[in-house]
Chains A and B, each alone.
Chain A
Amino acid sequence: MTQIPPPGSAMQPVLRALRLPQFGLGARLAAVVLAIIVVLTLLGQWIAPHDPLTMNPMARLQGPIEGHPLGTDNFGRDIFSRVLIGGQLSLVIGLATAVVSVLLGLVIGMVAGFFRAADAIIMRMMDALMAIPSILLAIALVALNGPSVGSVIAAITIPEIPRVVRLVRAVVLSAREEPYVEAAIALGTPMHRILTRHLVPNTLAPLIVQGTYILASAILTEAILSFLGAGVSTETPTWGNIMAEGRLFFRIKPELILYPGIALSLCILSINLLGDAARDMLDPRLKKRAG
C-alpha cells in the first residue's frame, strides 16, 4: 500500500490478475476446482437425484444404497442431493457477506479517510466493533433476528466491516497525500469525482483480495454458527447445517460431516488460493521480487 499507482493505471493490475495464465499452477488448479464446485452447485436442481427435502424416516441413516449414492441422513433424506444443493446457500451467504461488507466498508472507510471530523468517531466505533469477538456477536445477532438467511448474512457481515473500513481508510489516507490528489483538490475538482476517479480505483486491488478472504471465512462462519445452534433452518440445506445436524451422528455416520466438509473445505481452499494468487499479483511489493 506504500506505492500508489498513478491514476488511470489503477485498473491495470486488476485486469492483469484476471488473465489466469499468469497464475501459478496451484492457483490454476484452484480455479478449476472452484469452477467445478460452482457449476455443480448451480446445476444442483438438475443433477440431484432427489428433492433435498423429501424425507423417509423409515429409511434413515442408510449407507450408500441404490438411488442414494452417499446414503441418507437422519430424516431419510438423500445426502448427495443435500450436499449439492446445500452449496447454493453456502455460496450465496458467502458471496452476499463479501459484497455487502466490502461495499459498506468502502463507503464508511472513504468517509473516515476523507473527512477528518468523522474519522475519530467512526474509527472508535470500528475499534469497539472489532473488540467484540465476532462469533459471539454473530450468535447474539442471529438470536436477535431469528435464524433466517438474512439475519445470518447480517450476523456474519457486521463483524467483517471494521476490517474493510481500516483497509480502505489506510489507502485513502495515503492517497490523499499524493500530489495528483492534492492537485485535484486544489483545482476544486468536485468531491464525488475525486472519490470515484482517484480514490476508489486505488482501493480496488486490496478490496478484491480482502473480499475473497471474507468470502471464504463467511462460508466457514456459517458452518460454525450452525454448529453452535444459531444457523439457518434444516429446511434449507447449507453445508454448515448439514454438518451441524450430522455431528450428532458423527461416530455412527461420519459421512454426514465428511462429504459437506470436503465440499466446503475444497471450496474455501480454492477461494483462498485464488485470493493469495490475486494478492501476489496485485501487491506491488511482492510482484517486484517475484518478477
Chain B
Amino acid sequence: MFNRLTATLLASTLLTGTAWAETTIKAVMHSGLRVLDPVITTAHITRNHAYMIYDVLIAQDSEFQPQPQMADWTVSDDKLTYTFTLRDGLSFHDGAPVTAADAVASLQRWAQKDAGGQIIMDRTASLESTDDKTITWMLTEPFVPMLDVLSKQSALPPFIMPARVAATSADEAITDYTGSGPFRFVEAEFQPGLTVVYEKFDDYVPREEPADWMAGGKVVNVDRVEWVNMPDVQTAVNALSGGEIDYIEAMQVDLIPLLEGDPNIVVETREPTGMQTMVRMNFLHPPFDNQEVRQAALKAIQQEPVLAAMVGNPDYYQVCGAILGCGTPLESATGSETLTEGGGAEAARAQLEAAGYDGTPVVLMAPTDMVALATQPVVVSQMLREAGFEVELQPMDWQTLVTRRASQAAPAEGGWNVFITNWMVPEISNPISNPMLNGRGDDAWFGWPTDETIEGLKESFIDAADAETQVQVAGEIQAHALDAGLLIPLGQYTLPQARRTTITEMINSPVPVFWGLQKTE
C-alpha cells in the first residue's frame, strides 16, 4: 500500500515536474448513497456508485448498441454459444488480476436478481470459465436480446466483482467493496446518506476507443470525486453559486433562473431521453379490476397539466404517449391521443357510467417526501374527480408507499388502487425489461395484471427475426398495453444538470459518470 502510494506520488511529481496538486470534484447527486450492493437494490444512486468502482463485460453506447468493455465476444452461427474474452491489464483494486472465474461468479449472482438475467438463465445450458480469460455461455435456444440484456445500464447491470465477493448470497448485502473500475471506493470516508469519496484507481487500463456513454475508454483525469448529499436543492444551488461544489446532477427546473446569468455556471441537459412518469393501477381490486374503468381513467387524464405542475418550464418536459419512450427505436404512440391532446373527459365520464362504476373510492397513494413524485398525484386526482371518480388521495412518506404497494390486500384493508412512478427511459424502452409490461399475475410488478396477450406479444418480440419485425411487434404491444390499462404514461421530462465551467468534457450518458471529464482551476 505504502509503496504504491509512494510510487504514485513520485510518478506524478516526475510527470508534472511541479508540486502535486490534487484535483477534486465535489458533486451533489440526486440522492444519498446508503446501499452499496448493486445486486440487492435497483436504486439509481447505487447503480451510479457501482459504475464508479466496478467495470462491466460489455456496455451500451449512445446508439443503444452493445460494445466491448472488459471483454470482446463472439457468437456461434447457431446463436447458442457466446464466448467472451477478457482484455489484458484488468485488475482489481487489491491488485489481483480479473479472471474469467470472477466474471462467471458475478454473472451468476446478478442473474438471480435481474429479470433479464433470469430469462437468460432459463435458457442457459452452461456458463463457465474455460480458461483465465475466457467465459463460455451456452444457451439451450437462441435468445436475440442476449447482448442487450448483458450491456444494459439499468436497472441492474451485471457488474464484475471478485469471485469471493460474488459468493455472497444474492439476498445479503456485500461487505467487501473491491472492484476493478476506474475509481476506488474510500471506505474510511464513507458516511451513509451523506458523503462518498472515490479516488482514481491508478492501475486501471482504459480502452483505446473514445468514451461513448458507458462504452469506450474510461480515462480518469481527476484524483478524487466526492459525492455530497443535499436534500434541499436550493442549498445545493446556493453552494454551486458560491463555488463550494462543482456539480449538481439533477436540478429542479423551477430553480434554473437562479443560476442564469452566472458566467461560471452551465445548466444543461445531460442526456435527452430523460425519465418517463406514469400511472399504475391495481388489477386485483375494484374499480380497476374492470378494463372499462381503466380505460375511462386513461381518457380522463391529460399529460400536459401534470408535466407543467411537476416541471414548469416546457423546455424540460415532453408530452409523449409512447410507453417505450419517445426518441427510442421502438417508439409508437398508438392509442394515446387523449393523453397527449386532452379532450377525453366527456368520453371518460360516459365510459365510467357505462361500466357501472358505483362510486367506490379510489385510493391514490401520494408520497410527500419525494420531490419527483409529489406533484403528479395531486393533479391526477383532480382529473379523475372531474371524470366522475371518487378519489381518496392518501399522503404518505415514500417508505410507507413502497411497503404498501407490495400489499395485495383490498384498498380499505391496507392495500391500494393506484400510484404514480417514474422510470428512466432506457429502463422502459425495451418490452422485455419494461416492468409495466409483465403480465404474469402475482409474479408481475405491483398491480399484478394477468395478461396472456402481452406475454404472447413479448414472446413474438423475442423471436422476431429482424429489427423491422421488432418495431412492428412493439407497435402492437403499445396498442394492447394502453387498451388493457397496464399503465397510463404521463409524459417525459429531464432534470437538467448544472456544473461550474471549470468542469469540461463531461460525457452525456444517462448514468452520470466521472471519467472523461477535466477540471481546470
Contact = CB atoms under 8 A, between A and B. Distances in A.
Given A57-B305, A147-B396, A248 B234 contact: yes
Contact of A234 (B304, B306, B378): B378
B397 interface: yes
Given A143-B400, A147-B395, A250-B234, A58 B257 contact: no
Interface stretch (A23-31, A120-128, A215-223, A225-233): A225-233
B409 to A, nearest CB: 15
Interface string A179-197: 0000000000000000000
B334 interface: no
Given A55-B378, A57-B309, A74-B309, A232 B395 contact: yes
B192 interface: no
A60 interface: yes
A232 to B, nearest CB: 7
B362 to A, nearest CB: 14
Nearest to B395: A233
B254 interface: yes
Main DSSP-derived SS at the A contact region: loop
Contacts of B484: none
A66 B396 CA distance: 35
Interface string A240-254: 000000011111100
Contact of B254 (A57, A58, A74, A230): A74
A60 B237 CA distance: 21
Interface in A64-100: 74-76
Contacts of A205: none
B397 A230 contact: yes
Main DSSP-derived SS at the B contact region: helix
Contacts of A58: 304-305, 308
A231 B395 CA distance: 9
B189 interface: no
Contacts of B396: 146-147
A75 B258 CA distance: 20
B291 interface: no
Contact of B312 (A60, A231, A247): A60
B312 A75 contact: no
A235 interface: yes
Given A74-B309, A231-B368, A252 B254 contact: yes
B41 interface: no
A232 B257 CA distance: 30
Contact of A146 (B258, B305, B379, B400): B400
B35 to A, nearest CB: 20
B233 A248 contact: yes
Interface residues of A, number: 25
Interface string B398-411: 01100000000000
B285 to A, nearest CB: 19
B168 interface: no
Contacts of B394: 146, 233
A268 interface: no
Interface residues of B, number: 31
A143 B396 CA distance: 8
B382 A55 contact: yes
Contacts of A249: 254
A61 interface: yes
Contact of A235 (B306, B309, B375, B393): B393
Contacts of A74: 254, 309, 312, 375
Nearest to A241: B368
Contact of B258 (A143, A231, A252): A252
B309 to A, nearest CB: 4
Contacts of B371: 248
A74 B232 CA distance: 17
Nearest to A146: B396
Nearest to B238: A251
B379 A229 contact: no
Contacts of A53: 382
Contacts of A55: 305, 309, 378-379, 382
Contact of A233 (B254, B312, B393): B393
Contacts of A147: 368, 395-397
A252 B379 CA distance: 22
A146 B367 CA distance: 11
B178 interface: no
A249 B258 CA distance: 11
B255 interface: yes
B341 interface: no
B252 interface: yes
Given A57-B306, A61-B312, A75 B255 contact: no
B300 interface: no
Interface in A33-59: 53, 55, 57-58
Contacts of B304: 57-58
A280 B254 CA distance: 49
A58 B304 CA distance: 8
A57 B234 contact: no
B237 to A, nearest CB: 8
B369 interface: yes
Contacts of A143: 397, 399-400
A249 B309 CA distance: 13
Given A75-B309, A146-B396, A250-B234, A235 B378 contact: yes
A229 B254 contact: no
Nearest to A249: B254
B366 interface: yes
A226 to B, nearest CB: 9
A252 to B, nearest CB: 6
Given A143-B400, A235-B393, A248 B309 contact: no
A243 B299 CA distance: 34
Given A60-B309, A233-B366, A248 B252 contact: yes
A141 to B, nearest CB: 13
A229 to B, nearest CB: 4
Interface string B223-254: 00000000011100100000000000000101
B375 A233 contact: no
A58 B309 CA distance: 7
Interface string B356-374: 0000000000101101000
Nearest to B404: A146
B413 to A, nearest CB: 14
A231 B374 CA distance: 13
Contacts of B306: 57
Contacts of B378: 55, 75, 234-235
Interface string A122-164: 0000000000000000000001001100000000000000000
Q: Which 5 A-B pairs have the closest CB atoms?
A: A233-B395, A57-B309, A229-B369, A57-B308, A57-B305
Given A75-B379, A143-B400, A229-B397, 16 more contacts: A53-B382, A55-B378, A55-B379, A55-B382, A57-B308, A57-B309, A58-B308, A60-B309, A147-B396, A230-B368, A230-B397, A233-B393, A248-B234, A248-B371, A251-B255, A252-B255
Interface of B: 232-234, 237, 252, 254-255, 257-258, 304-306, 308-309, 312, 366, 368-369, 371, 375, 378-379, 381-382, 393-397, 399-400
9 contacts: A55-B305, A60-B312, A74-B312, A231-B368, A233-B395, A235-B393, A235-B395, A247-B234, A249-B254
